[in-house]
Amino acid sequence: MKKNGGREIERKFLVRKMPDGLTSYASSKISQGYLVSLEDGTQVRLRKSGETYLLTFKRGAGNVREEREVELSVEKFDALWPATEGKRLVKTRYKIPLGERAVEIDVYHDRHEGLVVAEVEFDDEKAASDFQPPDWLGDDVTGDPRYSNQLLAS
Amino acid sequence: MKKNGGREIERKFLVRKMPDGLTSYASSKISQGYLVSLEDGTQVRLRKSGETYLLTFKRGAGNVREEREVELSVEKFDALWPATEGKRLVKTRYKIPLGERAVEIDVYHDRHEGLVVAEVEFDDEKAASDFQPPDWLGDDVTGDPRYSNQLLAS
């Protein structure tokens, strides 16, 4: 995730049809769990992505959110991880190019098998609102709580 | 803080009279702020104590709480600290011996100048309930939200 002064500007879409050759792109298995996850969008998240361990604080809702992230050692991650029990999810994330941007496609596993969601990140709000999604993307579900990882993890 | 399988067992008291020679004991200036601080006792706290930087997750209320803590580098601490704005406090902590135990005496600063609170940590709940406070300790305020750091920081 790129940072814009601690802000995150992105849009989220359902995926109507999987893009061709999806599995030929780079992917990583992501396990994440929440220390805190509130309805107003505040969250403290632990994420293991490949061999990278992250702690992320997010606040706010919609397509602009405050986001602060630090990397943890595996030992520190393991010390905090037990507190996320019951608030976890697993997904495979594919990163595919779309013109000058990248789209992240999240394929969920376990009890959310079958759910696929795409995220596109932007440098500013104008770029976000001007974005014309390709036809393989479906409904814009930015800010829709049904597709928030927070809710999917609970 | 000692750990008991991720649990913290402690009692908190007001200080009726400062113990003799307080300033001759080891002390540290503590600055702390909260990423998250909920009424049910859930919190994610950042603390700078001397040159030690900590991130602590706590959950639960009363004299037994889940607590998980990791040390952060100053860079990682600084990356998260801005998100605690408006939820911070500063205190000086003295650690003084009391028989075989240690008592932590917190002297608050800034808008809480004049407030002094003592905490005693125990190995198990029986030791906590058997504890007879010396006469320089005042009311037992364990679990009293008025003296929670969480509330004092808001």
Question: What pLDDT sits at residue A5?
Answer: 57
More confident position, A43 or B63: A43
Question: What pLDDT sits at residue A106?
Answer: 95
pTM: 0.80
Mean pLDDT of B29-57: 95
Question: What pLDDT sits at residue B96?
Answer: 93
Q: Is the pLDDT of residue B77 over 90?
A: yes
DSSP letters for A113-125? TT-EEEEEE-SSH
Q: For A1-20, b where at least 16 C-beta lie within 10 A, e where not — what string?
A: eeeeeeebbbbbbebeeebe
Cα separation of A139 and A16, whole Å? 8
3-state secondary structure chain B: CCCECCEEEEEEEEECCCCCCHHHCCEEEEEEEEEEECCCCCEEEEEEECCEEEEEEEECCCCEEEEEEEEECHHHHHHHHHHHCCCEEEEEEEEEEECCEEEEEEEECHHHCCCEEEEEECCCHHHHHHCCCCCCEEEECCCCHHHCHHHHCC
A35 contact residues in B (CB cutoff 8 A): 36, 44, 57
Question: What pLDDT sits at residue A1?
Answer: 43
Read off the pLDDT of residues A38-97 as tens digits, 9 standing for 90 and up.
988 899 999 999 999 999 999 987 667 899 999 999 999 999 999 999 999 999 999 999
Q: Is the pLDDT of residue B2 over 50?
A: no
- Write the residue in A38, A71, A80 that is nearest to B68 by C-beta: A80
Cα separation of B29 and A27, whole Å? 46
DSSP letters for A35-101? EEE-TTS-EEEEEEETTEEEEEEEE--TTEEEEEEEEE-HHHHHHHGGGGTTSEEEEEEEEEEETTE
Whose tokens are 């001397």? That residue is B50
User: Which range is least confidently modeled, A64-73, B125-134, B142-151?
Assistant: B142-151
Q: Are B41 and B61 in contact (CB under 8 A)?
A: yes
Read off the pLDDT of residues A83-141 as tens digits, 9 standing for 90 and up.
999 999 999 999 999 888 889 999 999 989 989 999 999 989 999 999 999 999 999 99
Which phi and psi angles does A82 have, rounded to 5°?
Answer: -55, -30
- Write the residue in B35, B66, B70 that is nearest to A76 by C-beta: B70
% of chain B with per-residue pLDDT over 90: 68
Chain A interface test: which of B3, B36, B53, B66 (most A C-beta within 10 Å): B36
Cα separation of A37 and A32, whole Å? 12
Read off the pLDDT of residues B91-118 as tens digits, 9 standing for 90 and up.
999 999 988 888 999 999 998 998 999 9
Cα separation of B33 and B48, whole Å? 9
ipTM summary value: 0.76
Q: Is the pLDDT of residue B133 over 60?
A: yes
CB contact under 8 A, B76 and A71: yes
Chain B residues whose C-beta is within 8 A of a chain A C-beta are 6, 35-36, 38, 42, 44, 55, 57, 59, 66, 68-72, 76, 79-80, 82-83
When mean pLDDT is compared over A70-74, B1-5, B24-28, the highest value belongs to: A70-74
Give me the residues paired with residue A119 across strands.
A12, A104
Distance, first Cα to last Cα, chain B: 23
Cα separation of A147 and B57, whole Å? 26
Residue of B nearest to A77 (CA): B70
Q: Are B133 and B13 in contact (CB under 8 A)?
A: yes
